[in-house]
Structure 1
Amino acid sequence: MHIDKVSHRFLRLIAAAAAAISLLQAPVAMAQPVAGLPDFTQIVEKTDPAVVNIRTTATVPVRNFGGNGDPYDMFRWFFGPDFNPGGQGAPGPRGRQQQPQQPQAPQEERTVPRGVGSGFFISNDGYILTNAHVVDEATDIFVTLSDGREFKAKLIGSDARTDVALVKIDSDQNITPLDIGDPKLLRKGQWVLAIGSPFGLESTVTAGIVSATGRDTGEYLPFIQTDVAVNPGNSGGPLINLNGEVVGINSQIISRSGGFMGISLAIPIDEAMQVVDQLRATGHVTRGRIGVQIGEVSKEVADAIGLSKAEGALVSMVEPDGPADKAGVEAGDVIIKFNKQPITRWSDLPRIVGQVKPGTESSLEVWRKGRARTLKVTVAQMEDGNAAATDSESTESAAPAQTNALGLAVTELTAEARERLRVRGGVLVQSAEGAAASAGLTQGDVILALNDQDVTSPSQFNQLVSGLDTSRAAALLVRRGDQTQWVAVQPAK
């Protein structure tokens, strides 16, 4: 009897163990095979010889304390040129005696290391692409190839706006250029490689995925965002796809520590090559301009002015007598197409216009008062430091006005102010409260339009406000200084 109980208990233990084993094995049997990670060795073998290390030097003056025969020269370096401990000569500041002027010795100079970066060959005749900030202010540029050969390079040209530079070495032996890929084919999640010299460590390979494309950071170009490890020294190196083609130039990292934190940005190679063509031909880049200042179109403003999508570039200021002004562009217009190319983001416009040769007549499609209009504009050449300026309006005082449903009290805009602002109508904000104040309006602003209606007088404006649909925000075209902006304001019920 005792043996039977033991046997029965033993059989139950075996059955329980078998069930546990089957449960452990069940997920393994049901799981799908895991795809293997890509092998990058062949890509690296193909592309690594095209990547170079770039180091730069700079010539700086040497401060030679006492080298001109003046023992107090070092003190003047710290305390200013008028420092005098009380020697001979004419009275100096604070009653001190100035020393007789000593003959100045020639200022010495010395060459110091300036920085390191990366680059890559784009042709077999020695042209190398890198970042402009890698070679900026360099006296000499030295290029080290993957096989250890070092050359002194010549700067062909650089463009600070895109952060692209072109340098060249005089060698036609064993130069392997990278194949140029198409960054427009990149998709989120695709594998990419970076090769460069982080912290001076030459020919370092890192891998990751594409995190985003067309990343707008407010700069001239949209970036390719990746999680590839990029650190100081990687700048100017290539971003490579799994076909072994260069699709970008590693340019920036977003970091709170100064080192890699998982976000790196690369210049799309197609944008860079457009710059290279001009640098190679002339050594500099010529861009087009039309003379407008622009901003983003918000969804509330798009709904209020009848745009189907919150896209385009909102014109906040038109340069007087500039190309856009001559073409009939007005502040408050939304530019939705340029040369039939849609303006999806406001930052698309400067890049598209910049690629047009100055002197070219182009088409410009704007959204104004509920419909699209096509204008002809002759593109001008962008000059460094070019800026348009207009006179700011005055805020003449007037008799108190009644506050309307938007929280605004407005008064007449004088003829003198209209002439100065170059506007045909408009009213002057005397006070703003409630919804208008919350939207940012303030005394002295000038209101030029309400939704798709021009504002001509205080009475007409208040009448338009009284007829607004209180279930949706109204769009006010507001002029402040030399800037014009659509502002969404919710009328009070």
Structure 2
Amino acid sequence: MKRLASLLLVSVFAGAITLGAYKLFFEKENFTIISQENNGGVVNASYTPTSARGSGINEVDFTTAAENTVNAVVHVKNITLSKGPKTIFDVFYGTGGTAVPQVGTGSGVIISSDGYIVTNNHVINKATQLQVTLNNNRTYNAELIGTDPNSDIALIKIDTNEKLPYLAFGDSDHTKIGEWVLAVGNPFNLTSTVTAGIVSAKARNLGKNQSFIQTDAAVNPGNSGGALVNTNGDLVGINTAITSQTGSYVGYSFAVPSNIAKKVVQDILEYGNVQTGFMGISPAPVNTRDAIEKGINNIDGVYIELVEDESAAQEAGIVVGDIIKKVDEIDVHKYPDLTGYLSTKRPGDTLALVVDRDKELLTLPLILKERQSLVVPEMGLEVKNLTEHDKKVYKTNSGVKIIGVPERYRGYGLSEKVIVKIDDHEIGNIDDAYTAFGGISKYGKTVIFMVGSNGERDRLIFQ
């Protein structure tokens, strides 16, 4: 018994020594400080750093933006009539076949309480009838007001006695990469549908020097023409396109920036067409052998390879080799940054350009001019307005100069000729040429009157 008591006493002392050693040498102090200064309690219960902005997506409220948007997004139905296959009766009676209605659908955004609606040009293209269904399932016939194929924006209108909910244009120049956005559309006539994502990139170019906002908000066929809004409910874009090998959404969608869409709408309402301001420059192509050899392949900015005569750029003092770094307050890293901003401007607007010339930054004021060249329909010739020098050389005060000829017309000696007349239409400028070539019939004969640099006069019969 005495031996058992001794063992128990030794065990107790050993445990006490072990616990005391752990407390003294190994255990760290961990305590909570409570301060009551200024009558307020502060408790530090964790030593892990946290974001000052909260826990991310759980802190973002999409509900207000969605509630303010869904009723302003509509379903747009495009009805076109196309010729169906000929029957034996059509052949016998010489008719052209039965007209077959084709239906296309998309979305649109109401931008005024009296019924003006923005959508995509490709949604309403070639329509013989347009119908708009609101989120309350009321359907109206719509009138086409105007379109701009270059930006893929169209303006339509419905007439109603009630005041309609609408969205105001936001400032797309101030959207930021990583910012939360909602894509709101009316696909498949399901009433308005909302998806969320972030701004993935800005100034994306899809092949025509356009400038799109890229997002990862899910957009599918039928969403074209719908709204891209930020978490405040501001309209920052018109959903336009997806990139997909299947035709369905795979992670990338694109929207026309609201500043471009707003300017197109204002031009259509005020002028009947889009007023575009031009600088008159051509950038050096990137990712080419020539660009690599010149050392300009990875330049941050737009390297100017050509300055047109009597253009806004030439009058501003811009020269070949300048690198555009900034326009007004917009940083320019690539050409779509520049073209996207220019799409919001008109002839006569003044810009402040910051250019890098031999590693010296210069600020040059530039006044945009009207378009000086374009490609005419039907024949595809590129023509430009005459400069004062051209008028002296060709001894004519009117006409347009041919500066680009498609391959199929290369053997006709058209390059550098001046077109002065098409049939009975006198050609004064590129707008006259565009209208005259647009009226050429595929089944008739057209006579094009031209002047050469030596004063010789030619006629080309086009049929």
- What TM-score, normalized to structure 1? 0.57
Q: Residues 128-143 of structure 1: matches in 2 within 5 Å? A: 128-143=117-132
- The one-letter amino acid of 2:74's match is V
Say if 2:244 is the partner of 1:255: yes
- The one-letter amino acid of 2:71's match is P
C-alpha distance in 2, partners of 1:282/1:54? 25
Contact 2:238 2:258 in 1 (8 A): yes
Offset of 1:279 from its aligned partner? 1.5
**Other-structure match for 1:178:** 167
258-267 or 211-220: which moved more? 211-220
C-alpha distance in 2, partners of 1:108/1:276? 38
Q: Residues 87-126 of structure 1: matches in 2 within 5 Å? A: 105-126=94-115
**Other-structure match for 1:55:** 77
Contact 2:183 2:219 in 1 (8 A): yes
**Other-structure match for 2:36:** none
- The one-letter amino acid of 1:313's match is V
Q: Residues 53-452 of structure 1: matches in 2 within 5 Å? A: 53-68=75-90, 70=92, 105-295=94-284, 310-320=299-309, 322-324=311-313, 329-336=318-325, 343-358=332-347, 367-368=356-357, 371=360, 379-382=368-371, 384-385=374-375, 386=382
Offset of 1:178 from its aligned partner? 1.7
- The one-letter amino acid of 1:258's match is G
**Aligned-residue identity in percent:** 37
**Residue aligned with 2:346, SS:** coil
C-alpha distance in 2, partners of 1:294/1:253? 27
C-alpha distance in 1, partners of 2:267/2:224? 22
C-alpha distance in 1, partners of 2:299/2:114? 47
C-alpha distance in 1, partners of 2:204/2:330? 19
C-alpha distance in 1, partners of 2:90/2:357? 70
Offset of 1:390 from its aligned partner? 6.1
**Other-structure match for 1:396:** none
Aligned length: 331
Change (3 A) 1:40 1:391: closer
Change (3 A) 1:177 1:326: closer
Contact 1:119 1:196 in 2 (8 A): yes
Offset of 1:239 from its aligned partner? 1.4
The CA deviation string for residues 222-250 of structure 1, in whole angstroms up to 9 with x for no partner, is: 33222211100001111122222222211
Change (3 A) 1:159 1:326: same
Change (3 A) 1:175 1:373: closer
C-alpha distance in 2, partners of 1:378/1:59? 45
Contact 2:75 2:187 in 1 (8 A): no
Contact 1:218 1:347 in 2 (8 A): no
Contact 2:205 2:211 in 1 (8 A): yes
Offset of 1:314 from its aligned partner? 1.9
Offset of 1:191 from its aligned partner? 3.0
- The one-letter amino acid of 1:291's match is G
Change (3 A) 1:145 1:332: same
- What TM-score, normalized to structure 2? 0.60
Offset of 1:37 from its aligned partner? 6.1
C-alpha distance in 2, partners of 1:205/1:57? 26
174-183 or 330-339: which moved more? 330-339
Contact 1:161 1:220 in 2 (8 A): no
Offset of 1:266 from its aligned partner? 1.8
Change (3 A) 1:289 1:174: closer
- The one-letter amino acid of 2:242's match is I
- The one-letter amino acid of 1:210's match is V
C-alpha distance in 2, partners of 1:306/1:220? 23
Change (3 A) 1:213 1:364: closer
Contact 2:87 2:97 in 1 (8 A): no
- The one-letter amino acid of 1:242's match is T
- What root-mean-square deviation, in Å, do the aligned CA atoms of Structure 1 and Structure 2 show? 4.0
The CA deviation string for residues 306-333 of structure 1, in whole angstroms up to 9 with x for no partner, is: 99x9333222234455554566655444
Give the gaps of 5 or more residues in structure 2. Answer: 1-45, 376-381, 385-401, 406-415, 417-463
C-alpha distance in 2, partners of 1:361/1:189? 31
Change (3 A) 1:153 1:107: same
**Residue aligned with 1:380, SS:** coil
Contact 1:209 1:227 in 2 (8 A): yes
C-alpha distance in 2, partners of 1:318/1:189? 36
**Residue aligned with 1:240, SS:** strand
Contact 1:126 1:172 in 2 (8 A): no
Contact 2:82 2:101 in 1 (8 A): yes
Offset of 1:176 from its aligned partner? 0.4
C-alpha distance in 2, partners of 1:306/1:193? 41
Change (3 A) 1:184 1:288: closer
Give the gaps of 5 or more residues in structure 1. Answer: 1-28, 71-103, 393-419, 421-493
The CA deviation string for residues 238-272 of structure 1, in whole angstroms up to 9 with x for no partner, is: 11222222222111112222111111122221221
Change (3 A) 1:326 1:270: closer
Contact 1:296 1:346 in 2 (8 A): no
C-alpha distance in 2, partners of 1:351/1:361? 16
172-181 or 38-47: which moved more? 38-47
C-alpha distance in 2, partners of 1:34/1:369? 47
Contact 2:383 2:403 in 1 (8 A): no
- The one-letter amino acid of 1:224's match is I
Change (3 A) 1:114 1:319: farther
C-alpha distance in 1, partners of 2:71/2:359? 57
- The one-letter amino acid of 1:261's match is V
**Residue aligned with 1:211, SS:** strand
**Residue aligned with 1:277, SS:** helix
